[in-house]
Structure 1
Amino acid sequence: MALSHKARRRWSLVVLLVALPLYIVVAVTLTDWLRARFDGLPMLVELVIFIGLGILWILPLKPVFRGVGQADPDDKG
Structure 2
Amino acid sequence: MANKMETLAKQQKGFLGIESARNNVGITVSYWESLEAIKSWKQDSEHLLAQQNGRTQWYNWYHVRICKVEREYDFKSK
TM category, shorter: 0.3 to 0.5
Per residue, is there more helix in 1 or in 2?
1
Per residue, is there more strand in 1 or in 2?
2
Highest RCO, 1 vs 2 (Cα 8 Å, sep ≥ 6): 1
| TM-score of the two chains, using structure 2 as the length reference | 0.34
